[in-house]
Amino acid sequence: MPDKDFYSKRHPVTGKFYDPRMQPRFTELATFMRAPSADDLSQVDIGLIGVPTDLGVTNRAGARHGPREIRNASSLMRTFNIERNINPFDLCRIADLGDVQFDDWYNLESQVDTIEDFYRQVHAANVIPLSAGGDHSITFPILKAIASEPLALVHIDAHTDTWDEIWGSKFHHGAPFRRAVEANLIDPTKTVQIGIRGGQNFAEGLEFSKNSGMRVIFIEEFADLGVPEVIKEVRHIIGDHPVYLSFDVDGLDPVYAPGTGTPEVGGLTTLEAQRLLRGLHELSFVGGDVVEVAPPFDPSGNTALVGATLMFEILCLLAVARSQPGV
Ligand SMILES: [Mn+2]
């Protein structure tokens, strides 16, 4: 439970104390969900982090602009989740930790190391990370930093992202969960991939997912089962195991989220995604991310709003897990 002054800020000019989250939403500096900008990790339970890089894409770049635009769109978020009947900001101290800073903006492999180092510090401070990508290559180094034991995984995406090396790199955005299995960061038998679809040139990624024991729920089966049955199965597979949630916005239909590098038609609706996330409450989440929001492909700004809204739903899951461990 945060101290009552945690969300209060002193205006440098007027000297007045105020809560930026309660100001008109078109005002103020754009932090994630108008949470305070942290200056002391020890005072934070959940850190909102931007990872502005897209060196890992296999097609259209643009996700490096995700964190900035999601911060802006996230000013539309409010604090109370009416469907879940909780206010995550009352459960935990939630702050914006800024962006991962790279020394080398042109080297994917060195960025993987930089991201890992950054999240090791977040993890060492006992802060749960909720990240905005960036392309999906960011998830492997995040898992490397925070997986003290092999984690369960809920992965929503059009693609399994279990491919091997492409074009000379093992760290592209189609590979994070293959690398994570190889490094024993996730338990494939406690991994559920949801929304998978689209044509492929090679089946080796899909085969890796299946052969390693992951539960792959293709979009056809998702539609046949319906959200409540999928929730039931995810809860059954994962139980109370520590779990990470990774949401690739291309898991949604491009009607809802056109601003992404590798769109695939025939995906989840935004409401299905929200209901799915809400149904996963009380799993033991240790972190989450929303990746592949590429604002240049969506001049309407809606994909950034969708990204911010998904982050808010995931924030509610993390806040419950953090404030009521073992529930
Ligand atoms: Mn992905």
The count of structural domains within the chain is: 1
Residue 4 lies in a domain: no
pLDDT digits (tens, 9 = 90+) for 159-171: 999 999 999 999 9
Does residue 103 fall inside a structural domain?
yes
Question: Quick one: average pLDDT of 272-294?
Answer: 97
Question: In a 3-state reduction of DSSP, which class is residue 66?
Answer: helix
Tokens of 33: 């969900």
Q: Which amino acid is at 234?
A: V
Alpha carbon distance 58, 93 (integer Å)? 37
Which range of residues forms the domain containing residue 267? 21-323
Degrees (nearest 5) of the Cα angle 132, 138, 143?
100
pLDDT at 200: 85
Position 130 in a domain:
yes
CATH of the domain at 302: 3.40.800.10
CA count, 13 A, side-chain hemisphere, 322: 28
In a domain, 12, yes or no: no
Q: 287 near 142, Cβ under 8 Å?
A: yes
Task: Report yes or no on 131 lying in a domain.
Answer: yes
Taking the centre of ligand 1 as the mean of its atom positions, its distance from the CA of residue 55, in whole angstroms, is 14
What's the pTM value of the predicted model, to 2 decimals? 0.97
Residue 11 located in a structural domain: no
Q: How far is the CA of 299 from the centre of ligand 1 (A)?
A: 22
Asked, for residue 318, whether it belongs to a domain, the answer is yes
Pair of tokens at residue 150? 């092999």
Q: Does any domain span residue 50?
A: yes
C-alpha 72 to ligand 1 mean position (Å):
23
N-term to C-term CA, the chain = 17
Is-contact 267 194, C-beta < 8 A?
no
Ligand 1 center from residue 90 Cα (angstroms): 32
pLDDT single digits (tens) 139-154: 999 999 999 999 999 9
